[in-house]
Amino acid sequence: MKKVSIITVNYNHNEVTEALLKSIYLKNNYKNIEIIVVDNASADNPINKWINTYPNVTFLRSETNVGFAGGNNLGIAQAKGDYLFLVNNDTEFTEDLVEKLVSTLDSNTTIGMVSPKIRYFDNPDILQYVGFTPMNYYTARNKCIGQFEKDAGQYDHLNGKTGFVHGAAMIIRKEAISKAGLMAENFFLYYEEMDWCDRVRKAGFEIWVNTSAIIFHKESISVGKNSQLKEYYMNRNRILYIRRNANVFCRLVFYVHFSFLVVPRNIINYLKNGDKGFVTQLFRAIRWNIINSRDSHYLGYKA
């Protein structure tokens, strides 16, 4: 039986993380696991309390917020598992979740990463994810399959290869990490799992979704919907992703597309919706990529 390291990152949502831990204890049936929780510089350090409440969990703390990728990388560095299951702290497990994901990785050594089907916690019949379409590197656009649809099993046949895993829940073979490297920390938030998938694929592995495995996701608890922080990183990292993963011709087409279509369209939409602050975040995102144009493969965080 392969050892599975379950890794999650907490940032200022202690009760949410505790709910995840309780769901693992209540629902998980897979015996050979370890649980690692990384606290990403929360204002109220919960670890002293948690150590007494959850003695079988490994707790790590970063004194600075190193982002989603950085926090997970800290957990990965301490993990002893053959497979590493990275889950958002705002998810809740279902029975047989880990077994089904492990079974997929066990079935084929060329499978590097797998995500389960994801449903919304508050609307448990509604899908969030059953796979991604391939990326269009000219526009940096793809589609999350099934999102917002009622789950009637209409996508269960997609069990198998997919465009990308979902960052809320992804299990990865340790061998794939050894060959592809850790997540790039300069994304800080958003797109890092897509970048990771591209590198894992280039290392010779396949990306899969298991539509029989289910996890529930409490979407956007950490950042909030339509926040300026989210808008900044979504724009910044969309550009960064293309810089890191597209060929020269695709990058040039993308820059033209982004400059003459995306930027004007976004500004119009921001102003129409009364989100003037988002305009500033858009240009801040572009400026970051210009300033950091020479170091797209840098792994550390720069604000």
With H, G, I as helix, E, B as strand and everything else as coil, classify residue 186: helix
Domain ranges of the chain: 4-217, 228-291
CA 65 – CA 63 distance, rounded (Å): 7
pLDDT at 264: 98
Mode of pairing for the β-strands spanning 206-217 and 111-120 = parallel
Tokens 């897979």, located at residue? 30
The pTM of the full predicted model, rounded to 2 decimals, is: 0.92
**pLDDT given at position 296:** 59
CA atoms within a 13 Å half-sphere pointing along the CA-CB vector of 71: 27
CA distances from 260 to 141, 257, 265 (A): 16, 6, 9
- HSE-CB at 204 with a 13 A cutoff on CA atoms is 7
pLDDT score, position 303: 33
Q: Please report the pLDDT score of residue 34 as a whole number.
A: 98
Q: Give the C-alpha separation, 257 to 255, whole Å.
A: 5
pLDDT for 225: 60
215 pairs with which residues across the strands?
118
The Cα–Cα gap between 170 and 165 comes to 6
* Whole-number pLDDT of residue 297: 55
pLDDT at position 58 = 98
**How far apart, in whole angstroms, are the C-alpha atoms of residue 9 and residue 296?**
24
pLDDT of the residue at 189:
86
CA 165 vs CA 28, 131, 142, 144, 151: distances in Å:
21, 7, 13, 10, 19
Regions of the chain with pLDDT less than 50: 221-223, 298-303
Q: Which CATH superfamily is domain 4-217 in?
A: Spore Coat Polysaccharide Biosynthesis Protein SpsA; Chain A (3.90.550.10)
- The SS3 assignment for 163 reads coil
